[in-house]
Amino acid sequence: MSLAQFCGSRLRDARVARGMTASLLAERVGVAPSMVSHYELEKNDPKPHVMARIASVLSVPESHFLKAPLSSGEPPYLYRSKAASTKRARESAEVRHRWFLEILEFVSSAVELPAVQLDDIGGRKAPSEISDEQIEEAAAEVRRRWGLGDGPIANMILTAESKGCAVSRFAFGAEDLNSFSHYDRVPSIALNADSISAVRGRFDCAHELAHLVLHRSVKRADAEKPETHKRMEMQAHRFAAAFLFPASSFVDEVYSTSFDALLSLKRRWKVSVQMMIRRARDLDLINQDKYERTFRDLSRRGFRTREPLDDEIQPEGPTVLNKAIRLMLDQRLVTREELCYQLRLDVGDIEVLAHLPTGFLATERWGEVVEIRERVHTKTGGGDNTDNVLQFPKR
């Protein structure tokens, strides 16, 4: 047995998660900037009073720095925005999403989470080899495998979660960073809680699902190439539209591409009018001239950034971790205190990342520590998309 080791990469990750530079952290802690670098590179260990100050400034328990390094995985993180202005926000969001995955891993030791149902779908071709027809076929295949039929998807996030996708939703701190995805041990999707509308959030989730299906074998170096990234984004857009509104249903239900006609379908399908216009163009139901004129009309009416019904359709949120943690507590598989101790994260971070109410893990509710017992199995709804609710039954 040996003493716990200070983990410099944990310090760097926590600093990045809080959006701090090494210089700013050094200033707030009261040490020389070079010392923060030495701590992160493990050239020096911080003295106890310095570590306590670092933990306080970064809002993490001191034990956070004694945990094994956080795995970043080899596959690339695939983003909808690669703007330089969001670099710090991207790095911060990546760390927090990996914290989310650590929570998920801990919970899965006691609760049987939905099995992954993506491993044998797509992901074998380079982006340059994927045609529009193959994208449409891939979206239809996922719907068929998941038993979704050709109708509207009641809840996009719940559907992805029920098929084994790990979905997190939290504020990224950058409006132009919509979402990202990553496929390492599990397929995972991170959504920006600051998304401007529910339909945008649903599209973002379907867009990231596209990357998990079509692009999970793409190497990091290739994904970083501007031309490849642009192609992948266009393919993900098409997949998302095809997944949310299949071609056969679109042709059957869209009798006009006027704004009012499409708006009448928005409540039922929970997709934006702009997406439907783009879908009509992708399916060659309107020509380029009609497409451009329609979008000019949207701009004239002020609907490019905000559409009617955006405030009425309720945003979707992840549910798996919320329900799993509640089940663990109800079954006395773990206490609130032990949960927080094992995760070694700030209580507020756990609540946000697990989609729990603020104050749910408040210290005054903590009780005695009990051992985690055997895993509790979970079930998901069947193939009927209208009853696609995750269930976590008692043993």
What rounded mean pLDDT belongs to the chain?
A: 88
Of the listed ranges 142-151, 160-169, 185-194, 266-275, the one predicted with least confidence:
185-194
* pLDDT of amino acid 376: 52
Q: Side by side, which strands form the sheet with 166-170? A: 78-79, 179-183, 187-192, 166-170
Residues 117 and 50 in one domain: no
Q: With residue 67 as reference, give the H or E element that holds it.
A: none
How many residues does the structure list for the chain?
Answer: 395
The domain total for the chain is 2
What number is the average pLDDT over the span 233-259?
96
Residues 64 and 100 in one domain: no
Confidence of residue 394 (pLDDT cuts 50, 70, 90): very low
Residues 54 and 95 in one domain: no
Residues 259 and 381 in one domain: yes
Residues 146 and 106 in one domain: yes
* pLDDT of amino acid 274: 96
* pLDDT of amino acid 109: 92
Confidence of residue 183 (pLDDT cuts 50, 70, 90): confident
Residues 193 and 60 in one domain: no
Of the listed ranges 160-169, 194-203, 322-331, the one predicted with least confidence:
194-203
Domain coverage including residue 19:
1-70
Q: Is the pLDDT of residue 99 over 60?
A: yes
User: What's 43's domain CATH number?
Assistant: 1.10.260.40
Higher-scoring residue by pLDDT: 43, 70? 43
Rounded Cα–Cα distance for residues 247 and 279 (Å) = 9
Residues 242 and 148 in one domain: yes
> CA-CA-CA-CA torsion for 275, 280, 282, 285, nearest 10 degrees?
-170
Residues 37 and 95 in one domain: no
pTM metric for this prediction: 0.87
* pLDDT of amino acid 363: 59
Q: What percent of the chain has pLDDT over 90?
A: 72
Domain termination site, one of 70, 86, 113: 70
Residues 180 and 307 in one domain: yes
Domain termination site, one of 44, 70, 96: 70
Residues 51 and 124 in one domain: no
Residues 178 and 322 in one domain: yes
Phi-psi region of 332 (alpha: psi -120 to 50; beta: other; left: phi over 0): left
Residues 77 and 66 in one domain: no
What number is the average pLDDT over the span 129-153?
96
